Amino acid sequence: MNKKIILIFTSISILSAFICFLGLFWAVFDKHDTIQSNKRVDHVNSEEKKNSSNTVHIVALGDSLTRGIGDDKGKGYVGDLKDMLIKKSKKKIQVTNHAIGGQTSSELLKQLKQPEVRRQLRQADIILISTGANDLFQGGAALDHLNMSYFNSIEKRYLVNAKHVYSTLRSLNSHATVFHIGLYNPFIDLEQSKLTSKMVSKWNVDNANLTRDYKKMIYVPTFDLFQLNVNDYLYSDKFHPNTKGYQLIAERVVSLIVFHEEGK
Amino acid sequence: MINLIYNEQLKLLRKKRLYVIMVMIFILVSLFTYAQYKQTNELIEKMGHVNWRVQLQQKIVDTQNRLNSTNIPNDFKQTLKIQVSQQQYYLDHNIDPAAPGAPTFMRIFIENAISLLLPLLVLVIASDLVSSEYSNGTIKLLLTRPVKRWKILMSKYFALLLSISLILFCMALFSYLISGLIFGYNGWSLPMITGFKADGNTLNTTGAYTIPLWKYVVIEYGLAWFVGVVVGALTLLLSVLIRSTAAVMGIMLASLIAGAILVNMVSSWHSAKYLFMLNLQLTHYIHGTNPPITGMTLGFSLIVLLIWLVISIIFSFAIFTKQDVY
Amino acid sequence: MTLQPALTVRNLYKRMGRKDIIKGVSFDVFPGEVFGFLGPNGAGKTTTIRMIVGLIKPTSGDIFIAGHNIRTQFTKAMQQLGCIVENPELYDYLSGRENLEYFARMDRSIDKKRIEEVTKLVKLESRIHDRVKTYSLGMRQRLGIAQALLSGPKLLILDEPTNGLDPAGIHEMREFIRSLAKESQLSVLVSSHLLSEIQLLCDRVAIMTNGEVIKTDRVSSLLTTKEKVIWNVSPISKAREILQKETDVTEHLEGLITPYSEENVSLWNKKLVNKGVQVNEIKKMKPALEDLFLELTGGKKSD
């Protein structure tokens, strides 16, 4: 009896030792063929499109605004928007937020090259983007040397990027509605407010003009939301919106979405 | 020699330590399976779907956002950056590193067990192997046989190797069987990427290649086995030196736990990379995680461990064959 | 020499740190004899025995078991040796039988039948399949001896074999050891700090103290030289006066003590009676080894 158990255990152990040793050998000496790209991508895509008819796919891209930085609840306008839509619509709402705090328009362009982001954008019904604020303000750092000529050069560069972004989005997905959240002026209470407001307005106008070239693309103004009592809606960093501020933005976007759905 | 090994196996089995260890593995695997199951469930709840690509992309974005916050220590930032580029690499090649399934669970289990749980279980066996003979006085009977002393120690080394192999076998078997109940038993041929090299804060993917998951798992268990052997040999050396099971356990436990803590804070203490307990996370190299100290590679860690192993074997034999038994 | 000694110890030294704890021990044990190893605790008995069985390496000196040097022919020497060092510590989570099988596996020369033989020899047949954990000390001691006899050794070494046994157990053990020596020409080396034990058990004895053997002799010859006479007399003072003229006298609870001498005892008795001393009893007393021991070591102060 004893003998049998011992023999069984021992042979299992020896077998296991051999396998482990093989593994160790592979770990040390084995080098393999270089990476082979996987071909499953397309096949998986078509599979997923079928079962997505009953849900609204929302993909959010952009900077800290879309990420929701400054919202104590951590939702941001994207989260608020989702909650509001769930109340209004019977469809399932699915949100993927790819926003990265501090992202500039050129970084967004880079992100748009990632296959997974592209894959999701293809399936999206609604696309939310916010970009440009970091190009313009550089997180507030640009405030000291703001002047019109500097502004012009930045804006020129930005508009090229924005155009690129829009055409990429449209080429990936022609049916989704794109909402670009416009800029507000967080510095409206500061001394140079006249200059900064002028800049932000011009930026918004030029950007909005650019969106007109594309179908189902809406530039959502936020400048007016924060024009009065800006401090009530700003987070303690005096740059990002606070919970209330985000709520305002979400309400505005939602009203547009509902309008759009009914219009459909 | 075979008789001697048989004797050691007999003692191990009759002392029931192996059974205790098997029960422990069983319980822990069940716990981890449940935890993993809960985690997956929560993800589904949070994300609304289980598409791994969406999850992974979300993870990348989350990590990138964390990177932007200013109060992260630098070395942690590096780790995060490498993590992001690795995840991106997986995504770009359409490979799910965490595809649910028993083989994936086996992989995750051993990756988590290699630096603490496995050494602890080995410790339970190895600490007792020599020192219990001293504390029970049976060493006197053992050493007055017509058998050379080195053969007796050798048989104990073999018994140790067998036990370590058995522990790993149980880990593999239990984690496969139990997790399979929930995650399914498929996924052996899933491609995995290895061969990443972490250089500072960038990930070098030029050497990357894919291997099927089963091979990946075998490699990781092989590395774990090596870690077990090194820890076991060190423990055996200590128990030859100290002869008290409790003291051996104490010392080894302290150094293992110290290792687990140190791993997270030694990035600037370079000579610490020669400590055995900082080289236990061999699977990290296969996985492509940032090593605790820059410059550490799989080869380096294997050599460091090998040196510790050889030294402890030489010393334990030298001492065991010479020492007086009172 | 017709007989090769079962054990030869020559000039054994053991140095610990700066101190020699065994200082040149030499003796022989011949086949069929029970050899006693006597000394107070700490005299170096156990250290010497551990050197003989190979647990401690001697600093210098040689040990031969049945002619094999344990340094150069360790396995051959050990095949001729069976031993219990201090307590018979066996694997108590194994049964008696399993323990014997275990040790049989360590020596190819032992076959299966031998296990049954030794079990019968130590009368453990009824409990051999029980775990050692459940054994009494006497049973453990017997199992220990069975284990030691397993390889059919020429030399059996028992360190304090009756330690902790009850009187009946002690008696049984003694008989057993004697019969072993007699029937199978086995040499037995027994150590003890109890002199009565050695006296009853051994043919020859080596007396050890402070790491040295101070005397090796036959137990019987050691004893006859030191026999005494107890005089139960009255009046004591008068008797002492008379005896003091003849020999050494010491006072004792029961009376007076003089050395024994075959031809003089009756003469002294006659003198006492003639002088009017009442002699109630004359008792010849074999000396305890205690006296012997004190006598041998008493003069020497340990340094």
Evaluated on CA atoms C46, C51, C57, C59, the torsion sign reads: positive
Pairing of strands C204-209, C34-38: parallel
Summary count for chain A: helices (H), strands (E):
11, 5
pLDDT of residue B286 exceeding 70, the answer is yes
pLDDT in the model for residue B53: 75
* Partner chains of A (3+ C-beta pairs under 8 Å): B
pLDDT confidence of B306, banded at 50, 70, 90? very high
CA distance B38 to chain A (A): 21
Residues of chain C where predicted confidence (pLDDT) is lower than 70: 1-3, 223-226, 286-303
Among partner residues C57, C90, C102, which is closest to B10 by beta-carbon distance? C102
Instruction: For A128-151, write each residue's pLDDT tens digit.
Output: 998 888 888 775 566 666 778 888
Of the spans A32-46, A156-170, A210-224, B306-320, which averages the highest pLDDT?
Answer: B306-320
CA distance A24 to chain B (A): 4
Among partner residues A20, A37, A48, which is closest to B168 by beta-carbon distance? A20
Cα–chain-centroid distance for residue B319?
Answer: 28
Tokens of B94: 């359409």
pLDDT confidence of A46, banded at 50, 70, 90? very low
Return the percentage of chain A with pLDDT > 90, whole number.
Answer: 2
By CA distance, what is B216's nearest residue in A?
Answer: A23
- As a whole number, mean pLDDT of residues B38-59 equals 73
Domain map of chain B by residue range? 2-322
Which of B145, B243, B326 should be substituted to probe chain C, the one whose Cβ sees the most C Cβ atoms within 10 Å? B145
The rounded distance, in Å, linking the Cα atoms of C18 and B315 is 25
Pairing of strands A177-181, B197-199: unpaired
pLDDT in the model for residue B12: 86
Could you say which residues from 94 to 123 on chain A have a Cβ atom under 8 Å away from some Cβ of chain B?
A: 94, 96-102, 114-117, 119-120
Which of B7, B324, B326 should be substituted to probe chain C, the one whose Cβ sees the most C Cβ atoms within 10 Å? B324
pLDDT of residue A51 exceeding 60, the answer is no
A27 with B191: Cβ contact below 8 A:
no
pLDDT in the model for residue B201: 59
Among partner residues C55, C57, C76, which is closest to B140 by beta-carbon distance? C55
pLDDT of residue A48 exceeding 60, the answer is no
CA distance B282 to chain A (A): 10
- As a whole number, mean pLDDT of residues B45-74 equals 72
ipTM rounded to 2 decimals: 0.80
pLDDT of residue B155 exceeding 90, the answer is yes
CA distance A36 to chain B (A): 7
Does A48 touch chain B if contact means CB atoms closer than 8 Å? yes
The rounded distance, in Å, linking the Cα atoms of B33 and B30 is 5
* Partner chains of C (3+ C-beta pairs under 8 Å): B
Could you say which residues from 100 to 159 on chain B have a Cβ atom under 8 Å away from some Cβ of chain C?
A: 136-138, 140-148
Q: Which of A45-59, A244-258, B2-16, B253-267 has the least mean pLDDT?
A: A45-59
Instruction: For B131-153, write each residue's pLDDT tens digit.
Output: 888 888 888 888 888 888 999 99
Contacts of B97 (CB under 8 A, 6+ apart): B56, B87, B90, B192, B193
Instruction: Map tokens 């047949």 to a residue.
Output: C125
CA distances from residue A192 to A142, B142, B160, C244 in whole angstroms, order as listed: 12, 91, 77, 134
- As a whole number, mean pLDDT of residues B72-92 equals 74
The rounded distance, in Å, linking the Cα atoms of C143 and C77 is 22
CA distances from residue A30 to B50, B78, B214, B286, C201 in whole angstroms, order as listed: 34, 28, 15, 12, 71
Could you say which residues from 161 to 200 on chain A have a Cβ atom under 8 Å away from some Cβ of chain B?
A: none
Global pTM? Answer: 0.73
Q: Please give the radius of gyration of chain B, using alpha carbons only, rounded to the nearest integer.
A: 22
Q: Which of A163-177, B286-300, C82-96 has the least mean pLDDT?
A: B286-300
Tell me which of C148 and B41 has the higher pLDDT.
C148
Return the percentage of chain B with pLDDT > 70, whole number.
Answer: 90
Q: Which residues of A touch B166 (CB under 8 A)?
A: 9, 12-13, 16
Given the candidates 3.30.70.20, 3.40.50.300, 3.40.50.1110, 3.30.2310.20, the CATH classification of the domain at A55-263 is: 3.40.50.1110
Tokens of C162: 């009756």
pLDDT of residue B177 exceeding 80, the answer is yes
pLDDT in the model for residue A139: 54
Instruction: For C266-297, write each residue's pLDDT tens digit.
Output: 888 888 888 888 888 888 776 666 666 666 66
The rounded distance, in Å, linking the Cα atoms of B182 and B33 is 8
CA distance A74 to chain B (A): 13
Does C104 touch chain B if contact means CB atoms closer than 8 Å? no
Report long-range pairs for B69-76 (Cβ below 8 Å, ≥24 apart).
B69/A101, B75/B267, B75/B268, B75/B290
pLDDT in the model for residue A189: 77
Q: Which of A206-220, B39-53, B80-94 has the least mean pLDDT?
A: B39-53
Q: Which of B69-83, B265-279, B306-320, C211-225 has the least mean pLDDT?
A: B69-83
Does A22 touch chain B if contact means CB atoms closer than 8 Å? yes
Tell me which of B308 and C292 has the higher pLDDT.
B308
pLDDT in the model for residue C288: 64
Q: Which residues of B touch C92 (CB under 8 A)?
A: 136
pLDDT of residue B308 exceeding 90, the answer is yes
pLDDT of residue B307 exceeding 90, the answer is yes
- Helix axis angle for B117-136 and B245-262, nearest 10°, is 160
pLDDT in the model for residue B49: 59
Dihedral class, residue A221 (left if φ above 0, else alpha if ψ from -120 to 50, else beta): beta
Q: Which of A189-198, B267-276, C286-295 has the least mean pLDDT?
A: C286-295
pLDDT in the model for residue B224: 92
Instruction: Looking at chain B, list the stretches that DSSP marks H as alpha helix, in order from N- to C-terminal side.
Output: 2-14, 17-47, 52-68, 74-92, 102-113, 117-136, 139-143, 149-183, 213-242, 245-262, 283-287, 298-322
Q: Using omega within 30 degrees of 0 as the cis cutoff, is the peptide bond preceding B292 cis?
A: no
Domain map of chain C by residue range? 7-223, 228-285
**How many other CB atoms are found less than 10 A from the CB of residue B309?**
19
Could you tell me if C11 and C36 are in contact, meaning their C-beta atoms sit under 8 angstroms apart?
no
Instruction: For B217-253, write each residue's pLDDT tens digit.
Output: 898 899 999 999 999 999 999 999 888 888 999 999 9
Domain covering C7-223 in this structure, CATH number:
3.40.50.300
By CA distance, what is A30's nearest residue in B?
Answer: B219
- Averaged pLDDT score across all residues of chain A: 79
pLDDT in the model for residue A187: 80
Which of A20, A95, A110 should be substituted to probe chain B, the one whose Cβ sees the most B Cβ atoms within 10 Å? A20
pLDDT confidence of B313, banded at 50, 70, 90? very high
pLDDT of residue A260 exceeding 70, the answer is no
